[in-house]
Amino acid sequence: MADEEQAETGEKPPESADLDARVGRLETMIAELKDAITGSGGSGTESAPEPPANVAEEIRRQIEERDAREKAAAEDKAKTDRIGALETRLAELAEKPPEPMPRRVEKLMGWR
């Protein structure tokens, strides 16, 4: 079937040396991708955080992480509140039909 496709397109079958070189390049690419996915490669740009030297450093790190989470939650809540306030304000600004004109009699008699 591959021979039929090559015959239709007019291509020559690849030489064995070219094929070996191509397979070798593909295998190295696959190995690099596996290393990148599993993280076992040494060429990664991100390094794992170093373990703390003592308990005080560990506690400081945990407090900083907690503060960062609280700050992010507060920013998220503020953003949500602002969006809610803008939506209610937008609903108030929606176009309303005009009030009907007062009748002439009511205007002259001062009933309105």
pLDDT in tens, 6-44: 555 555 555 777 888 888 999 998 988 888 888 765 554
* Rg for the chain, CA atoms, rounded: 36
CB 6 within 8 A of CB 13: yes
**Above 80 in pLDDT, residue 55?**
yes
Percent of the chain's residues with pLDDT above 90? 30
CB 15 within 8 A of CB 21: no
Q: How far apart are CA 102 and CA 14, in angstroms?
A: 92
Q: What tokens were used for 1?
A: 């079937």
47 within a domain of the structure (yes/no): no
Who contacts 9 (Cβ-Cβ below 8 Å, separation ≥6)?
Answer: none
67 within a domain of the structure (yes/no): yes
User: Based on the structure, what is the number of domains in the chain?
Assistant: 1
74 within a domain of the structure (yes/no): yes
The pLDDT, as a whole number, for residue 105 is 85
The pLDDT, as a whole number, for residue 1 is 47
Determine the structural domain holding residue 91 and report its residue range.
52-95
66 within a domain of the structure (yes/no): yes
